[in-house]
């Protein structure tokens, strides 16, 4: 895999994040939603970008390849989104983002990390299961466009 750098999302990343968001979700978050989340101290949003392998640093004006987000409330955390540009899928970027997100939530004191995923989103279910998430419930009719149940998943953190 090429060199990928994970860093905290900045407000200047939002236009690129919106491209990823629109490619991945039938009801994408708005620019305002991302701006608001970045202002909340309990929010954690990361972006993946190509890194300069020779210098292990950010490439100026590098492209956001994907992003991940979570909200922390005490000992619990909730993964809000993980998404990668369509043309960059199947390269391990989502896995790297998820690993970093888990590490950051542990550092914030999270003991139980939760998420919802569409019941028919097999690639995402595999990603989360490989990371140690287990199904703990179902939310009927949670998603729209199309209407679909969500699988509620949980990972106990060390």
The CATH number that applies at residue 77 is 3.40.630.30
Quick: pLDDT tens for 17-70.
999 999 999 999 999 999 999 999 999 999 999 886 555 455 455 789 999 999
pLDDT digits (tens, 9 = 90+) for 63-104: 899 999 999 999 999 999 999 999 999 999 999 999 999 999
Backbone phi, psi, residue 66, to 5°: -175, 175
**99-135: pLDDT as tens digits:** 999 999 999 999 999 999 999 999 999 999 999 999 9
| Residue range of the domain that includes 58 | 4-156
CA 113-119-115 angle, to 5 degrees, is: 15
Number of domains in the chain: 1
């Amino acid at each position: 895999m090429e060199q990928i750098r994970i860093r905290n999302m900045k407000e200047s990343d939002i236009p690129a994040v919106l491209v990823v968001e629109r490619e991945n979700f039938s009801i994408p978050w708005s620019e305002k939603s991302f701006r608001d989340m970045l202002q909340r101290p309990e929010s954690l949003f990361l972006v993946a970008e190509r890194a300069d392998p020779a210098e292990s640093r950010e490439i100026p004006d590098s492209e956001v390849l994907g992003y991940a987000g979570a909200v922390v409330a005490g000992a619990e955390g909730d993964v809000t989104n993980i998404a990668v540009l369509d043309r960059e899928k199947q390269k391990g970027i989502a896995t790297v983002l998820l690993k970093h997100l888990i590490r950051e939530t542990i550092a914030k004191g999270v003991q139980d990390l939760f998420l919802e995923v569409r019941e028919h989103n097999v690639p995402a279910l595999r990603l989360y299961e490989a990371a140690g998430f287990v199904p703990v419930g179902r939310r009927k009719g949670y998603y729209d466009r199309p209407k679909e149940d969500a699988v509620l998943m949980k990972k106990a953190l060390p």
